[in-house]
Structure 1
Amino acid sequence: MQSEACKSLEKQGYQFFSKKSSAALKPCMWNKRALLGGDMCYKHQFYNISSHRCVQMTPTLKCNQRCLFCWRSMEYEVEEEEECPPEIILERMHALQKKSLAGYNWILESSTATEKLWNEALNPDMIAISLSGEPTLYSKLPELIELFKRGNNTTFLVSNATKPEMIERCHPYQTYISLDAPDKKTYLSVCRPEEDFWGEIQKSLSLLKDRRSAIRTTVVKGLNDFGAEEYAKMYQSSGADFIEVKGYMFVGHSRQRLVRENMPEHDYVRDFALEISKYCDYKIIDENPLSRVVCMRRL
């Protein structure tokens, strides 16, 4: 698998688990920042996740949506010849993570990481299945999650909710569902799915009340920042533990589809969350202005 798309992703820091699959990992900005003794991401603040011990990965880069606000390239897709077996992903994960972080080794003069942080980073305990693509399109996702759990890893599964039958089979520590529209018309225009999955998304939301879960809404100014009452109704009926209302960030390939004015300031995101809270039991319990995100919970 040596396509131009693959080579481009490798230059961006993607590490592929096998030559024929699109399973990959890539440490996020917060992983590296925390490793150097800096700030951790908002998931540490909200859920007590140690950013430097987190692996950001995906079992597939395939996706069945073309969201306008997504940072990934949709013009140059990585073609997948076959799925990577869960056992191979588990076997190679630590080595690929270490390779990705090689430049941050505490023994290098250029690094400000400590030996303690470095050793902790090489012994990750959190797997975020969220890098890119839609992980529920990977047929062996339940088996992969169980393998991660046997290694005493906390697992976050981030999904666009279009495959409720797969979500039902998966039992991660926390299930993240993206809900980026207050109604079907907005969903079709903003998320641009291969087919109408609005009904499937509603079914996925109904599965959240019986598991630890979070719904994340990415607010794109001028595109989906309305319908507070409709968002509230879906939040309320889902029974999700947490709601994240997060501002769209003008980064990556989304800059070719949107403009900087679509990126809301934190106060704008917070005000929208407050408007939603008028119509449901979820209230703001925490916020992170740097990431332009608020966390809501039923009170």
Structure 2
Amino acid sequence: MPDQIYNNIPDFRTLLKNQGYSLVGNHSAVKTCLWLKRSIKDEGACYKSRFYGIKSHCCIQMTPTLLCNQKCIHCWRPTEIEVPAPEEWDSPVEIMGSSIYAQRKLISGFGGSAPRERWMEANKPEHAAISLSGEPTLYPYLPELIDEFTKEGITTFVVTNGTRPEMITRIRPTQLYLSLDAPDKNTYLEVCNPESPELWENIKKSLSNLYSKDVRTVVRITLIKGVNMYNPEGFAELINTAKPDFVEIKAYMHLGFSRGRLSRESMPSHDEVYAFASKIADYLDYEVADNVEISRVVLLSRPLEPLPGQS
């Protein structure tokens, strides 16, 4: 592990601020992503814009908790640092309002460099990606938080590791992502370093729960070369229990603190991701619907399933 990645790490809150996070209340955070910064200048957009019609410059990337019950080796966040648990939870109303305020403050500096119309649009967020850091289903009032965003006309994506199946049954976002980073339990333990080995059974329950959801569902796989990039049939069997609307298969990216755990060679090329995604599709009633080379991501869907961003 390269020592320079971890040398002189400040306390957790200072570290987050240094990395561009805006801390919200006692346990939440907001951060602008690369694609928001490009989109607000009309210089490009996230692949989610192409797949699902999301305006990248109108998207809040946030989390209601920085706590996580996994320490995934491919995570760009500093999983080696313990996150203090809150003494009490902030209310959904507080988190939503403070997140919108924090987003507007973060993009205030673009007022002079971005097209005026796009900057004004960005100040009226249309979408919340509840996926920044931590595991959002650990926040006990996640269903109510989603409802608060919905009341404001803001659509929501929730990205979960699937370890809390009971929360999967309660939430109703616009789109529900479940990360599936292993085709079997042993690989899961190696890749995700969960706080309990039994969380693998919870993930399988969550996949089954996904099948009964009346919202748009996606299973997302992050491929790490030499680690979990094998057994496409195993991935397919698990995916088939969820029968999601879409499957996103993307490459691990050598960024942030993951550089201390994995080598640059752990990143598969776009061609390798496409080939592995095609193998998974061969075991399912899905086909390659789209792909974005710059993001090394491939989207699978059922045949003739229209993409939300292109319908």
Amino acid at match of 1:26: K
Residue 30 of structure 2: aligned partner: 25
Alignment of 1:190 onto 2:191: yes
Identity of aligned residues (%): 47
Alignment of 1:291 onto 2:295: yes
1:160 CA drift (Å): 0.2
Aligned partners of 1:28, 1:271: CA distance in 2, in Å? Answer: 28
Aligned partners of 2:252, 2:81: CA distance in 1, in Å? Answer: 22
1:102 CA drift (Å): 1.9
Do 2:168 and 2:210's aligned partners in 1 also have CA atoms closer than 8 Å?
Answer: no
1:2-40 Cα shifts (integer Å, max 9, x gaps)? x7111111121111111xx22010011101110011110
Aligned partners of 1:92, 1:192: CA distance in 2, in Å? Answer: 32
Question: May I ask how many residue pairs the two structures share in their alignment?
Answer: 290
1:195-247 Cα shifts (integer Å, max 9, x gaps)? 02111101111122233100000000000000100111111221100000000
* Structure 1 range deviating more: 240-249 or 94-103: 94-103
Residue 80 of structure 1: aligned partner: 85
Aligned partners of 1:255, 1:49: CA distance in 2, in Å? Answer: 29
Aligned partners of 1:131, 1:252: CA distance in 2, in Å? Answer: 14
Of structures 1 and 2, the one with the larger relative CO (CA 8 A, separation 6+) is: 2
1:182 CA drift (Å): 0.3
Residue of structure 2 aligned with 1:203, choices 199, 202, 205: 205
Residue 264 of structure 2: aligned partner: 260
**Alpha carbons of structure 1 residues 77 and 102: separation in structure 2 relative to 1, 3 Å:** farther
Amino acid at match of 2:41: L
Aligned partners of 1:129, 1:123: CA distance in 2, in Å? Answer: 17
Aligned partners of 1:188, 1:4: CA distance in 2, in Å? Answer: 28
Alignment of 1:269 onto 2:270: no
1:87 CA drift (Å): 1.1
Mapping of 1:8-19 within 5 angstroms?
8-18=15-25
Amino acid at match of 2:90: C
Query: Secondary structure, in 3 states, of the residue corresponding to 2:193?
Result: coil
Do 1:219 and 1:225's aligned partners in 2 also have CA atoms closer than 8 Å?
Answer: yes
1:268 CA drift (Å): 0.4
Aligned partners of 2:196, 2:99: CA distance in 1, in Å? Answer: 33
Aligned partners of 1:261, 1:294: CA distance in 2, in Å? Answer: 20
TM-score of the superposition, structure 2-length normalised?
Answer: 0.91
Residue 167 of structure 1: aligned partner: 168
Do 1:54 and 1:128's aligned partners in 2 also have CA atoms closer than 8 Å?
Answer: yes
Do 2:162 and 2:203's aligned partners in 1 also have CA atoms closer than 8 Å?
Answer: yes
Residue 180 of structure 1: aligned partner: 181
